[in-house]
A and B are shown apart, each in its own frame.
Chain A
Amino acid sequence: MNNIQGKAWKFGDDVDTDAIIPARYLNTSDPLELAKHCMEDADTGFAGKVKAGDIMVAGKNFGCGSSREHAPIAIKAAGVACVIAPTFARIFYRNAFNTGLLILESVEAAAAIEAGHEVAINSTTGTIDDLTSGQRFKAQPIPDFMQKLLDDGGLMEHWRKRLESS
Chain B
Amino acid sequence: MAQTITEKILAFHAGFDEVEPGQLIEAKVDIALANDVTAPIAIAEFEKLGVEKVFDDERVLLIPDHFTPNKDIKSAEQAKILREFAKKQGLKNYFEIGRVGIEHVLLPEQGLVLPGDLIVGADSHTCTYGALGAFATGVGSTDLAAAMATGKVWLKVPETIKVVYHGKLAPWVEGKDLILHTIGILKVDGALYQALEMTGETIDTLPMYGRMSMANMAIEAGAKNGIIAPDEITLDYVRSRAQRDYTLFASDPDAVYCKTIEIDASAIRPQVAYPPLPDKSRSVDQAAADKIEIDQVVIGSCTNGRIEDFRLAASLLKGRKAAPYMRLLIIPGTQDVYRQMIKEGLTEIFLDAEALISPPTCGPCLGGHMGVLAAGERAVATTNRNFVGRMGHPESEVYLSNPAVAAASAILGRIAAPEEVL
A residues contacting B by CB (< 8 A) are 14, 16, 18-19, 22-24, 26-29, 40-42, 60-61, 64-70, 73, 87, 89-91, 94-95, 98-99, 145, 154-156, 159-160, 163
Contact = CB atoms under 8 A, between A and B. Distances in A.
B146 A89 contact: no
A74 to B, nearest CB: 12
Interface of B: 24, 37-38, 40-41, 44-45, 48-51, 66-67, 71-72, 74-75, 78, 121-124, 126, 138-143, 145-146, 149-150, 154, 188-189, 192-193, 222, 224, 277, 366-368, 372, 385, 387-390, 392, 394
B222 A156 contact: no
B49 A14 contact: no
B139 A94 contact: yes
Contacts of A41: 388-389, 394
Contact of A159 (B37, B74, B146, B390): B146
A18 B385 contact: yes
B46 to A, nearest CB: 9
B387 A156 contact: no
Contacts of A91: 124, 138-140
A68 B142 contact: no
Given A16-B387, A23-B390, A155-B142, A87 B51 contact: no
Contacts of A69: 38, 41, 122, 140-142
Contacts, number: 134
A163 B224 contact: no
Contacts of B66: 23, 26
B24 A89 contact: no
Nearest to A99: B142
A64 B188 contact: yes
A89 B222 contact: yes
Given A99-B142, A156-B142, A28 B188 contact: no
B388 A19 contact: yes
B143 A14 contact: no
A130 B240 CA distance: 61
Contact of B368 (A23, A29, A98, A99): A23
Nearest to A16: B387
B367 A159 contact: no
B38 A68 contact: yes
B189 A87 contact: yes
Contacts of A154: 142
A18 B201 CA distance: 36
A60 B146 contact: no
A155 B192 CA distance: 22
A64 B388 contact: no
23 contacts: A14-B188, A16-B387, A22-B367, A23-B367, A24-B368, A27-B75, A40-B394, A67-B121, A68-B140, A69-B38, A69-B141, A73-B41, A87-B189, A87-B192, A90-B224, A91-B124, A91-B140, A155-B142, A156-B49, A156-B142, A156-B146, A159-B146, A163-B149
A145 B192 CA distance: 19
Contacts of A64: 188-189, 222
A163 to B, nearest CB: 7
A98 B388 contact: no
A55 to B, nearest CB: 22
Nearest to B390: A18
B192 A90 contact: yes
Contact of B124 (A26, A67, A87, A99): A67
A145 B154 CA distance: 10
Contacts of B49: 156, 159-160, 163
B70 to A, nearest CB: 9
Contact of A145 (B24, B139, B277): B24
B73 to A, nearest CB: 9
Ordered nearest first, which 4 A-B pairs have the shortest CB separation?
Answer: A95-B140, A98-B142, A61-B189, A27-B74
B388 A159 contact: no
Contact of A27 (B50, B72, B124): B72
A14 B146 contact: no
B192 A18 contact: no
A23 B394 CA distance: 12
Contacts of A145: 24, 154
B78 A67 contact: no
Contacts of A28: 74, 78
B362 to A, nearest CB: 9
B189 A60 contact: yes
B388 A42 contact: yes
Contacts of A68: 37-38, 140
B272 to A, nearest CB: 19
A93 B51 CA distance: 26
Nearest to A91: B138
B9 to A, nearest CB: 18
